[in-house]
Structure 1
Amino acid sequence: MLQPWQTGKVIRIVDESASTKRFWIEMQETENFDFKPGQFVTLDLPIHEQKNKRWRSYSIASWPDGTNVIELVIVLLEGGLGTHYLFNSIQEGSLLTLRGPQGVFVLPEVIEKDLFFICTGTGVAPFRAMVHDILIRQKPHKNIYLIFGCRKFCDGLYGDELKQLEKELPSFHYIPTFSREEPSNGDYRTGYVHSIYEEICSNEKRQGVDSPYPANFFLCGWKNMIDEAKQRILAMGYEKRDIHQELYG
């Protein structure tokens, strides 16, 4: 069922990088905004006369904590009417019209396989929410691999926080990879995300067994990355039902 529109008040804005901002939004009509990690909200922005051209959807970057505050992480898009409005016209104290939660890009109730969270840019948002929720709720799980691709160090999001989560959740593996940085001694990877999950799956595959080892793949980010990832994952022998996606742009 589609949720009704409601009012949110922007209570905090932080520059996460040169082109990315974090927005904390307090819902004005409820004391507890309940959602599942991985879901999104849709904003109705005053940028066009037609309703469907005013709507912009963003994954919730925070996790359910019993409050009425959510966090969104948004990148400024060149020529993007929605993000330019949010970056230039919205301040702390501004009101937004939004609807949600929406979406089925969520974890299974019972996690029976290893999880591969593969993302680019602000596509890390739903996975940040999922990992925190697994830790807080002490949800039984297998290995979790967060493979986060971006161009430069300055494009990385939540890096220190995700490294800390590795220490608190031993089965969680944070693997940032940068396509335009020089190779390191192991603190990060260079290149693109695809070679990393292929390498892990190859290493984990049981000897003497033709089928791939049990895993679920969650993809979030730009269309080109998702299209290539789906092809490669299917080529490794996985089924379409093993792949879940949230598309940006």
Structure 2
Amino acid sequence: MNEIWYKGIVTKIVNETHNTRRFWIQIPELTDFSFKPGQFITFDLPIHEKKNKRWRSYSIASHPDGSNEIELVIVLLEGGLGSTYLFNEIKEGSELNLRGPLGVFTLPEHMDRDIFFICTGTGIAPFRSMVKYLEEQQLPHPDMHLIFGTRYIKDLLYADEMRSLAERMPKFHYHPTLSRETDGWQGSRGYVHEVYESLLADKRPAHFFLCGWKQMIDEAKQRIQAMGYDRKDIHLELYG
């Protein structure tokens, strides 16, 4: 586990949706911030006297590219001290204390069966990192399905980029799924669960990666096991 704290400089901020922002952060002490796709960093934010109550973790949304800059995508949580601080106080040029990379939510060593990336909201971040890395490195991989659930079209993150990746990568399939959109949406409706259950009607071997809100993850774990899959097939990263 990486216990070293670094100084990060915010180089760019972009409003992605009405309540999410993309933050680019450079770590000047390093020439290469080396990490595995799927890992996260932890900030120490000045929001509490107790150390462990100041720490907030975010998955890295960019892929390892040999540089010392990473991208995060962060949602403003109602009443959330960490995200409120980042949205209100942090500007381009601001400094943040961070450590990482951390976590074991990474691609399987043996990619011998289909992979289902199931996420809600900013839970898409680690999967974006994984898929872009596989494309960039031209690594062989099985069929991969990214099932991204949110409420409305306006809440979709990285939508154009994911469609573009799906066009370039024959084995990457993008399934945006909206639970509340009514006007002009031609894609999947409802929740992520119906999508993977339908795709896996044949019960073929698969790896499942779940990232997002606890409610979605809890339900997905139950449903995937009810389909006959083993708990060892399920990997998860919890948000909130």
Query: TM-score, with normalisation over the residues of structure 1?
Result: 0.95
Decide whether aligned partners of structure 1 residues 185 and 58 sit closer, same or farther in structure 2, where only a CA change above 3 A counts: closer
For structure 1, which runs of at least 5 residues remain unmatched after alignment?
206-211
Change (3 A) 1:184 1:115: farther
* Contact 1:41-1:59 within 8 A present in 2 as well: yes
Tell me, in whole angstroms, the C-alpha distance in 2 between the residues paired with 1:12 and 1:171.
32
User: Secondary structure, in 3 states, of the residue corresponding to 2:200?
Assistant: helix
Cα distance per residue 1:124-150 (max 9 Å; x no partner): 000000000111111111110000000
> How many angstroms apart in 2 are the aligned matches of 1:33 and 1:53?
25
Matched residue count: 240
- Partner of 1:4 in structure 2? 4
Distance 1:112 1:66 in 2: 27
Q: Secondary structure at the match of 1:63?
A: coil
Q: Note if contact 1:39-1:59 (Cα within 8 Å) is conserved in structure 2.
A: yes
Is residue 150 from structure 1 mapped to residue 164 from structure 2 by the alignment?
no
Secondary structure at the counterpart of residue 115 of structure 1: strand
Q: Distance in 2 between matches of 1:91 and 1:42?
A: 18
Instruction: Encode CA deviations 1:39-88: one digit per residue, 9 max, x unaligned.
Output: 00000000000000000000000000000000000000000010000000
Change (3 A) 1:6 1:185: closer
Aligned runs of 1:84-233 on 2, under 5 Å?
Answer: 84-182=84-182, 186=186, 188-202=187-201, 205=202, 212-233=203-224
Matched, 1:55 2:55: yes
Q: Deviation at 1:183?
A: 7.4
TM-score normalised to structure 2 length: 0.98
Post-superposition shift, 1:28? 1.8
Match of 1:236 in 2: 227
In the alignment, is residue 245 of structure 1 matched against residue 236 of structure 2?
Answer: yes
Three-state SS of the structure 2 residue aligned to 1:33 is coil
Q: Which runs of 5+ in 2 are unaligned?
A: none
Q: For the aligned residues, what is the CA RMSD?
A: 1.0
Please say if residues 183 and 190 of structure 1, whose CA atoms lie closer than 8 Å, have aligned partners that are also in contact: no
Identity %: 62
In 2, Cα distance between the equivalents of 1:61 and 1:217?
19
